[in-house]
C-alpha cells in the first residue's frame, strides 16, 4: 500500500525486560526480534524506519542487518520519551508524522502502520492517532488488562480506562458498545517535542495509562476503528515460542 502522506516509523527497543531478558535480541528464525519488527515496518511504505535503542548490543545487531539505528539515552521512563529524543536529534519539522511501532511486535501488520499514519494526516486537529476494536466478549470488557476507549461522534477519544466503559446502568434495555484500545500510535512531531515537558496527569497515574497525559493537557487523539486485532506482541517465553512457530511455518511454506 502506497501511503498518501509521508511518515516515519520509530521503533523504541530497550534491552532490559523483567519477563524476557534481552528481548530485542531474541532469535526468531535466524534474526533478532527487533530486526523482524523493522522488516515489517519497512513494508508499510514509511519514508524511513529508525530503531531507537538504549544499548550498544542492539545497535550493533541492527547495523549488522543494514538497518537505520540510533543510540538513545538509557534513562527514558517511557517509549514516548525515547521518540521525543529521536525527533530532536533528527530535527524533524512540526508537521511530520511519526508512527511508534513497539520493538516486541514481529507480526505487526504493515497496513495497520500505514492506516494509523494516514488517519492522523487526515485529521489535522489531532496530535495523535491510535486504533481500537469493538469488544464482543463480556469477560474482555471486565478485564482490567484490556484497555477500553470511549469516543465522541467524530471518533476522537474522550477517555481511556481499565474499567468497563461506558458502563451500562440498565443492560437489559441498553448494552453499550465497548471498544478495546490497541496500543499503536501516530504522533505529530510538534507533540513529541512537547511531551517530555508535560507533567504526568492524575488520571494517568491512577489508571497507569500514558495516553491520558495527552488528553489531560488538551491534545486530541483520533481513533481508527479496525475490524481485526493485530497478533499479540512478545512479553514471555511462551509468546516468543508462539511467534517462532509462526515464522517457521512461513519459512516452510
pLDDT band, very low/low/confident/very high, at 168 (cuts 50, 70, 90): confident
Tell me which CATH homologous superfamily contains domain 7-127+181-221+235-251: Spore Coat Polysaccharide Biosynthesis Protein SpsA; Chain A (3.90.550.10)
- Global pTM reads 0.92
Give yes or no for residue 181 having a pLDDT over 80. yes
Give yes or no for residue 174 having a pLDDT over 90. no
In the chain, pLDDT over 90 holds for what percent of residues?
80
The average pLDDT across 69-79 equals 90
Whole-number average pLDDT of the chain: 93
Instruction: Give residue limits of the domains in the chain.
Output: 7-127+181-221+235-251
Q: What is the pLDDT of residue 1?
A: 42
In tens, the pLDDT along 215-231 reads 999 999 999 999 988 99
In tens, the pLDDT along 130-164 reads 999 999 998 999 999 999 999 999 999 999 999 99
Task: Output the 3-class SS for the chain.
Answer: CCCCCCCEEEEEECCCCCCCCCHHHCEECCEEHHHHHHHHHHCCCCCEEEEEECCHHHHHHHHHCCCEEEECCCCCCCHHHHHHHHHHHHCCCCCCEEEECCCCCCCCCHHHHHHHHHHHHCCCCCCEEEEEEECCCHHHHCCCCCCEEEECCCCEEEEEECCCCCCCCCCCCCCCCCEEEEEEEEEEHHHHHHHCCCCCCHHHHHHCCCHHHHHHCCCCEEEEECCCCCCCCCCCHHHHHHHHHHHHHHHHC
Give yes or no for residue 253 having a pLDDT over 70. no
Q: What is the pLDDT of residue 21?
A: 86
Give yes or no for residue 190 having a pLDDT over 80. yes
Amino acid at each position: 500500500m502506497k501511503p498518501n502522506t509521508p511518515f516515519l516509523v520509530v521503533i523504541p527497543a530497550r534491552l532490559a525486560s523483567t519477563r524476557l531478558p534481552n528481548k530485542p535480541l531474541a532469535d526468531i528464525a535466524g534474526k533478532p526480534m527487533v530486526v523482524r519488527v523493522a522488516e515489517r515496518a519497512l513494508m508499510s511504505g514509511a519514508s524511513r524506519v529508525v530503531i531507537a535503542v538504549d544499548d550498544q548490543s542492539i545497535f550493533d545487531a541492527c547495523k549488522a542487518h543494514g538497518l537505520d539505528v540510533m543510540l538513545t539515552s538509557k534513562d527514558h521512563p517511557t517509549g514516548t520519551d525515547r521518540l521525543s529524543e529521536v525527533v530532536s536529534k533528527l530535527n524533524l519539522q512540526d508537521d511530520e508524522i511519526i508512527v511508534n511501532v513497539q520493538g516486541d511486535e514481529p507480526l505487526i501488520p504493515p497496513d495497520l502502520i500505514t492506516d494509523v499514519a494516514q488517519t492522523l494526516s487526515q485529521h489535522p486537529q489531532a496530535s495523535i492517532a491510535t486504533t481500537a476494536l469493538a469488544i464482543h466478549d463480556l469477560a474482555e470488557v471486565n478485564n482490567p488488562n484490556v484497555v477500553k476507549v470511549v469516543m465522541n461522534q467524530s471518533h476522537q477519544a474522550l477517555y481511556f480506562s481499565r474499567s468497563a466503559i461506558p458502563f451500562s446502568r440498565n443492560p437489559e434495555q441498553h448494552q453499550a458498545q465497548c471498544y478495546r484500545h490497541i496500543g499503536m500510535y501516530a504522533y505529530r512531531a510538534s507533540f513529541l517535542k512537547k511531551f517530555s515537558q508535560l507533567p504526568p496527569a492524575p488520571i494517568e497515574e491512577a489508571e497507569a495509562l500514558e495516553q491520558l497525559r495527552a488528553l489531560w493537557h488538551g491534545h486530541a487523539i483520533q481513533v481508527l476503528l479496525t475490524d481485526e486485532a493485530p497478533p499479540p506482541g512478545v512479553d514471555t517465553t511462551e509468546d516468543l515460542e508462539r511467534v517462532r512457530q509462526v515464522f517457521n511455518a512461513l519459512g516452510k511454506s
